[in-house]
Structure 1
Amino acid sequence: MAVNWGGLVGVIIFYGIILAIGLYASRRIKDKTSMEDVMLAGRNIGLFVGIFTMTATWVGGGFINGTAEAVHSNGLVWAQAPWGYSCSLIVGGRFFAKKMRESGYVTMLDPFQKKFGKRMGGMLFLPALSGELFWSSAILAALGSTFSVILDINKTASIIISACIAMFYTLFGGLYSVAYTDVVQLSCIGLGLWLSIPFAFTNEHVSSISLTKEDWLGSWDSRKSGIWVDYGFLLIFGGIPWQVYFQRVLSAKTARYAQILSYTAGAGCMFMTIPSILIGALGASTDWEATDYGRNATDSSLILPLVLQYLTPQGVSIIGLGAVCAAVMSSADSSLLSASSMFSRNVYKLLIRQDASEREILLIMRCSILVAGAIATTLAITIDSIYGLFHLCSDFVYVILFPQLLCVVYVEFANTYGSICAYFIGLLLRLGGGEEILGLKSFIKYPYYDEAEDLQLFPFRTFSMLISLGTLLSVSYLTRYLFTKEILAKEYDVLRCVTNQPDPEDAPKITMKTIEFDNEIPELKDGEKPKGVYNGNFNGMVNPGAEIEF
């Protein structure tokens, strides 16, 4: 297969547009040394840009390529990620967005470290990081697949090249850049994919999808109904505890905006998945040997770029393929920025160097982007299925992180003892179920386990999550009861999270009022307290514009 020079030129043009917009948007950062300005765009994301960037939380290269792959390989009935992640945005908006935004946090891990302590927050960083890395891997694998179709080069080489491009762009950093490129990303996907559908449908080598519906709809296997239910819950609730999502929530101007963005993005995800579903159906309805491709499309992960290149005119193909690459590139920067933001603030700043300056933290964040990109690249090369990565990236987030987030936000008595126990029990139960994608064999045989296929038919991920949640609640309640009733002496509260906490009377007093007054602080008389409007961020907890007295 010869290089598609037109497609290559289209990719370069789209990359150039994304990079130019990202650089232009980065100029909007008022203070490039401010952690809040870089990570959260100064909490100034408006409704229009916010809807686009929130929708792009999930709609990217992994989303559109993975959906087409799932429909082509297993059928629509098993393509759960599109509706699952769409529902996760709506559930997140209803139950978590308002509370998190009103609290003024900087990252998703802030409430964990506030309630469970800095070290426990650092441990919870690990499943959050694994989710972002697997998600980045899915994005890079999708981009590598698209490049390999366009350039006819080794897929490994194309993934490495793609990762280098994505990391280079991400180093410019800043949520402003990410948000503004997301606007272009969704526009490109909408134009490129929807434009290609009519041409692909009318291609002479494509049969009517109504005649091939058994191939692309898939068949229901009642024996695997537990697996279907398991993944359904995983995608809905495992799609919530993500920094890439809460970064948008926390950057919204108001808590109400954060909810609106979540609801709208959920609907947007469902709409944007339609062309990918149709492309998967078209791929299953095509006589590939009769096309210029000349052989059967056995690699389902390539089905979307194959349909665009071989079933549409060259001009449409260029727009479609370039749009996919631009979408993936814009998604990659978002995920890598999220992982590096959590590490630099919640691990480096709060655990390693508490006195680090904001300039130093931002330097660490940029170094973290390179490390995260290298790890994600390795995973993208060694794991074949884009859709497999798409599922796997939510596994540890669902089992370990979701119960912790639920308790942090809604359960007042949850404490560090419960958090630690839930963490390790959830991890053990999940790893015990095995993972084919990672080559991990099962060492816990759940009910209905299939010995011949080493397959867990029981919804063990959801079971593990519920046991983790129950452990957190029961251990937290038990330890609180034992210490507060003085059944256990106070000195045994070694984690200082029940009765051994610092006396609140010793803490500095901060009084907030909602009345308006001048920004200037007048000269103080003897005995007067200074007060004024605070325009910055006080430890991530005081909203700008609030009146404070010391």
Structure 2
Amino acid sequence: MSLNIPGLIGIIVFYVLILVVGLWAGRKSRKSTNSDELFLANRDIGMGVSICTIAATGVGAAYINGTAEAMAKDGFLWTQAPFGYNIGIAVAALFYATKLRKAGYTTLFDPIQEKYGAKMGGVLFFPELLGELFWEAAILVALGTTLSIVLNINSMVAIIGSACIAVVYTFLGGLYSVAYTDIIQLICVAFGLILCIPFAWNNPAVDLSRIKNTWLGTIPNNMVGTYIDTYCLLIGGGIPWQVYYQRVLACRTPEIAVKSSLIGIAITFLLGIPPAIIGVIGSAADWNSTAYEGEVPIPPDKWVFVLPMVLQYLCPTAVAVIGIGAVSAAAMSSTDSLILCTGTVFARNIYKNIIRPQASDREEIWVLRISIVVVGVAGTAIALTVNSVYGLFVICADLMYIIQFPQLTCLLWVPFSNTYGSLLGFLFAFVFRVLGGEHLLNLPAAIKYPFYNNETGQAFPHKTLAMAISFTTILGVSFFTDRAFKRGWIPMKYDIFHCFDNKRLTKRRQDEKDAMPLDDDKQLQLEQLTSM
């Protein structure tokens, strides 16, 4: 197959448009010396822009391609991400977002460092960092695969080119650029995916009667535990992502943050329907009657390509090009968000709060920009070199559910939680997750729970068990140490994390206040978090 010249021209035009919009939106923050200008767009994001950026961040290339793959390969019942992920974000919007926005934080890790200490916040940053890096890589791989099939270009060129565009406008404009390009990208995603459906649906090779008994899918008895575990992971693991809270914290008011989140989530869910329909079309197609020259029936490991295959072989060229623009838009809307949020946390919570507390705003801004480049390069390198990005991403998503979800929940809702409980909860969660093994990564299980199978791995909901162990550990250890130190069962000299020694606690609070200037609302939140 020769190079698709019209398609390539169309994608180049689209990328130029995104770059121009990104540079235009970020023009007023390009020379700013105020770090909040780049981190949070001066907390000046209104309802319309907030809705678009929240929706566009969720609708990434991995979300689109993954939904189509799950629907085509395993059926409706196993297409869990559009439901679980959006339920998790809805819970975050209703119960977590308001507390964080009212307190005036800059990142999700600010309250963690205020209550548990700067270094414990640094420890908890690593699961988030890994998750975001591999999420970025998975998105870029999905984009590279789609472009290579439809345009017949090298996937490496597609991955590097897309990442470079996202890094450039994010580097220069921060959240302003990311938010305003998300508007264009969201429109492209919706229009492009919906346009493809009638053309593919009416292709002579598609016969829906072929799948009338299989499109729903089935849940075998030995997979019930895995099914429940996956839904719990999607819901709980969707709550603690910094990439979402960066938008919440940038809204003008807490009310806008909640309302725009719920509307954005509804849009995200609705935009999961077109790729699901495309997955149905792909499973109902007679690929032998198309120009497709691969193996038929399609092997299980090739269903990941079903969306670009439908675009390429079941749609006219012009429609396929528009569809590829939709996937490109989805990829870039999530990639730029991940790059920015990771750079923000490193600049503020690692560099400013741990490495160099005396850093100026200008220095912090340059650390952010350097971090954006490094994260962009790292995610791109992973996408180019690692074959099992999906498996690695699953592990990191697991860690967000198992580690970050109970940590954030206890931080905000359990007054007596402290650093001792947080640290041991982190360690127990990590150990039990690793001991449970991971079939996707060929990691053997040291603990074989009930219904274990040598071929498919754990059938017991062991990820939810590890999360529950983490939750219980944080609560139990925090409760015990709180009572033990306050009642004198353990001498204060052994309070190595300065959670209860009044003199040292006062000094730690003052040090953190100096490192992280607080407004009145944020100071009140700090006092509430550390009052117990």
Alignment TM-score > 0.5, same fold: yes
Query: Which has the higher mean CA deviation after the structures are superposed, 356-365 or 160-169?
Result: 160-169
Quickly say closer, same or farther: Cα 1:500–1:494, change in 2 above 3 A: farther
SS at match of 1:199: helix
1:95-118 CA-to-partner distances (Å, cap 9, x unmatched) read 101000000000010000000000
Residues 1:138 and 2:142 aligned together: no
Residues 1:321 and 2:324 aligned together: yes
Quickly say closer, same or farther: Cα 1:86–1:454, change in 2 above 3 A: closer
Distance 2:228 2:171 in 1: 39
Distance 2:27 2:200 in 1: 41
* 2:263 paired residue number: 264
Distance 1:389 1:271 in 2: 28
Residues 1:539 and 2:517 aligned together: yes
CA contact (8 A) 2:436 2:445 kept: yes
Distance 1:216 1:358 in 2: 55
* 1:457 paired residue number: 459
Quickly say closer, same or farther: Cα 1:84–1:406, change in 2 above 3 A: same
Q: For 1:116, give the aligned amino acid.
A: Y
* 1:490 paired residue number: 492
Distance 2:27 2:168 in 1: 17
Query: Which has the higher mean CA deviation after the structures are superposed, 255-264 or 431-440?
Result: 431-440
Query: Which has the higher mean CA deviation after the structures are superposed, 385-394 or 409-418?
Result: 385-394
CA contact (8 A) 1:233 1:462 kept: yes
CA contact (8 A) 1:120 1:420 kept: yes
1:510-550 CA-to-partner distances (Å, cap 9, x unmatched) read xxxxxxxxxxxxxxxxxxxxxxxxxxx98244469x9xxxx
**What is the aligned-residue RMSD (CA, Å)?**
2.3
* 2:35 paired residue number: 35
Q: For 2:326, give the aligned amino acid.
A: A
1:236-287 CA-to-partner distances (Å, cap 9, x unmatched) read 1110111100001100111111111221122112111000100011111112
Distance 1:285 1:416 in 2: 54
Unaligned runs of 5+ in 2: 525-532
**Alpha-carbon distance, 1:410 to partner:** 0.8
Quickly say closer, same or farther: Cα 1:388–1:189, change in 2 above 3 A: farther
SS at match of 1:20: helix
CA contact (8 A) 1:484 1:499 kept: no
Q: What does residue range 229-240 of structure 1 map to in structure 2 within 5 Å?
A: 229-240=228-239
CA contact (8 A) 2:438 2:457 kept: no
* 2:217 paired residue number: 218
Quickly say closer, same or farther: Cα 1:318–1:154, change in 2 above 3 A: closer
Distance 1:294 1:445 in 2: 42
Quickly say closer, same or farther: Cα 1:386–1:79, change in 2 above 3 A: farther
* 1:332 paired residue number: 335
Distance 1:541 1:238 in 2: 30
SS at match of 1:204: coil
TM-score, structure 2 length as denominator?
0.92
SS at match of 2:57: coil
Distance 2:317 2:441 in 1: 38
Q: For 1:259, give the aligned amino acid.
A: V
Distance 2:263 2:416 in 1: 33
Quickly say closer, same or farther: Cα 1:446–1:377, change in 2 above 3 A: farther
Q: What does residue range 156-195 of structure 1 map to in structure 2 within 5 Å?
A: 156=156, 158-195=158-195
TM-score, structure 1 length as denominator?
0.89
SS at match of 2:52: helix
Return the structure number with greater helix share: 2
Distance 1:51 1:134 in 2: 25
Distance 2:416 2:470 in 1: 16
* 1:344 paired residue number: 347
Distance 1:468 1:80 in 2: 24
CA contact (8 A) 2:30 2:172 kept: no
CA contact (8 A) 1:301 1:386 kept: no
Unaligned runs of 5+ in 1: 509-536
Query: Which has the higher mean CA deviation after the structures are superposed, 289-298 or 126-135?
Result: 289-298
* 2:527 paired residue number: none
* 2:292 paired residue number: 293
SS at match of 1:187: helix
Q: For 1:470, give the aligned amino acid.
A: T
Residues 1:305 and 2:308 aligned together: yes
Higher radius of gyration, 1 or 2: 1
Q: How many residues get paired?
A: 515
Residues 1:481 and 2:483 aligned together: yes
Q: For 2:255, give the aligned amino acid.
A: R
1:364-420 CA-to-partner distances (Å, cap 9, x unmatched) read 222222322233224334555776566444211110111110011111110000000
**Alpha-carbon distance, 1:357 to partner:** 1.6
* 1:254 paired residue number: 253
**Alpha-carbon distance, 1:231 to partner:** 0.8
Quickly say closer, same or farther: Cα 1:37–1:468, change in 2 above 3 A: same
* 1:275 paired residue number: 274
